[in-house]
Amino acid sequence: MSVSSNAKKKAKPGFRFVLTVGQPLHVKPSLLETLAIDPELIRKGVGHSSANRKFISAAEDAWSCVSRKAETGDLNPVTWLQELLLEAKAASLWFPAAFLLRLRQLQRAELVIEDRHGRRFRRETCAALPQEFQEFCEAADFRLDIVPKISAYGFEALSGGDRTEFVNIVCSTWRDTASRGVALATAIASVLSKLKDSGWTISNQREEK
């Protein structure tokens, strides 16, 4: 029995949403291809609303300008995707949930992206976090798994849980010690003391309350 042309078209392979942990993604000219997001799933989710299509079009256009840098390892696509979603949030622009899911998978290293040389991109610690928080972490040699929230204001831990209060305490205390010109060790101790007074502890590079 011969196979009809329509059946052949339906059998044509397309993108599949990556479900296996650890399977590497690869930098492609298209953002959807790079993140291995099935465009058919996106089309179904977006529907016919022109407002909802804006993000997809704008994201692909923006990615086309930087994909070559990502291919050569000169641009971190994990950081770039985080900044893209933060900008979309700031502009009240709707975006498919699949993009946020991909970002969190990449930040937690459940998935990785490789450049054309096979080098894997890692989450940049403190990317898009307040300057005072970055300065404290660098001075105290802490690498905390805290990232900006994308769907709301504030910060969260990659393992789960709100960390907005934690970040705000660090920033305000660090800013205060800088204005008083105290010694570095004293400034670090002051931050840790303020966190402890508020019920926060840092152990094994993880913050807990």
**Residues 40-59 as b or e (16 or more Cβ within 10 Å = b):** eebeeebeeeeebebbbebb
pLDDT recorded at residue 6 = 45
The model carries a pTM of: 0.84
pLDDT recorded at residue 7 = 40
Instruction: Show pLDDT as tens, one digit a residue, over the chain (209 residues).
Output: 333 444 444 434 445 555 555 578 999 999 999 999 888 777 776 666 666 678 888 999 999 999 999 999 999 999 999 999 999 999 988 888 889 999 999 999 989 999 999 999 999 999 999 999 999 999 999 999 999 999 899 999 999 999 999 999 999 999 999 989 889 999 999 999 999 999 998 875 677 78
Find the helix or strand (DSSP H, E) in which 25 lies.
Answer: strand 25-26
Contacts of 191 (CB under 8 A, 6+ apart): 136, 140, 169, 170, 173, 174, 177
Contacts of 186 (CB under 8 A, 6+ apart): 177
For residue 82, give Cα distances in angstroms to 2, 10, 51, 106, 132.
Answer: 49, 35, 21, 10, 20
pLDDT recorded at residue 54 = 84
Q: Which amino acid is at 165?
A: E
Other Cβ atoms closer than 10 A to 76: 19
pLDDT recorded at residue 10 = 44
pLDDT recorded at residue 76 = 97
Alpha carbon distance 147, 107 (integer Å):
9
pLDDT recorded at residue 5 = 41
pLDDT recorded at residue 151 = 87
What are the extents of the domains in the chain? 14-114, 131-208
